Structures are given as structure tokens and as C-alpha cells.
Amino acid sequence: EADIYQTPRYLVIGTGKKITLECSQTMGHDKMYWYQQDPGMELHLIHYSYGVNSTEKGDLSSESTVSRIRTEHFPLTLESARPSHTSQYLCASQGNNYGYTFGSGTRLTVV
């Protein structure tokens, strides 16, 4: 059973559309992260949060934005999708044992 959920699993969308990738966890973790990953490549941290109303940009510059209004919810938004945003987006939360629990990812294709 997954304790962290990402929706949608796959998304194909046209250029210029606004999209929100959902990420929710039921473990009560304060720390949550968004990674961007091209197929077979390394993970790039794009956003993270250490609790409600706390968000920070990651190591890789991204045109996306995030919010953290509730502990369990950490959505990522692209205001205007472009083909360069085509990638997999992985959400993770971090417990007291420091390890990450990852969601199943969202594979985004912008056409």
C-alpha cells in the first residue's frame, strides 16, 4: 500500500496549458520534495518544503511553483506548459529515519 500518492500517473497536455501535479501523503511527514527526472537519468531537486507554509527552490531551476497549505498535500503547478517540461516528476516525503518514501511519479508529456 502506498502512503504517498501522485496523480495523474500519466499526462499528455498541449503547450500553454496550466497543469497541477498532485502529491499527498498520509504519514504526517513535514519534509516533502519534488524531483524532475528525464528517462534513465539522474534526479534533479526542483522544490522542497519543511512544513506548512514553507517552500524552497531546489538545485535545478524550474518554472514550476509549489504550495504547502496542509501537511499532507504538496502540489506542483506549471502555469504554462512547454515541450521542455516533458519529463517525469517524482514526489517524496521524508520521515524521522531520514529516508525518502517516493510516490509512483507523474510522466508528463507536453505536445
Partner 1 sequence: AQKITQTQPGMFVQEKEAVTLDCTYDTSDQSYGLFWYKQPSSGEMIFLIYQGSYDEQNATEGRYSLNFQKARKSANLVISASQLGDSAMYFCAMREGGKVDGNEKLTFGTGTRLTIIP
Measured distance CA(32)–CA(68) in Å, rounded: 9
Q: Of the ranges 19-27, 61-69, 74-82, 93-101, which one interacts with partner 1 (CB under 8 A)?
A: 93-101
Q: Of the ranges 14-22, 67-75, 76-84, 96-104, which one interacts with partner 1 (CB under 8 A)?
A: 96-104
90 binds partner 1 (CB under 8 A): yes
5-21 as b/e: b if 16+ CB within 10 A: ebeeeebebeeeeebeb
Measured distance CA(100)–CA(23) in Å, rounded: 14
Residue 2 CB, nearest approach to partner 1 (Å): 9
Per-position x/- string for 42-81, each x denoting binding to partner 1 as judged by CB under 8 A, each - no binding: xx-x--x-x-------------------------------
Measured distance CA(71)–CA(50) in Å, rounded: 9
Contact between residue 110 and residue 86 where contact means Cβ atoms under 8 Å apart: yes
Among 16, 17, 26, 41, binds partner 1 (CB under 8 A): 41
One-letter amino acid identity for 3? D
* Residue numbers at the binding site for partner 1 (CB under 8 A): 31, 33, 40-43, 45, 48, 50, 88, 90, 92, 94, 96-105, 107
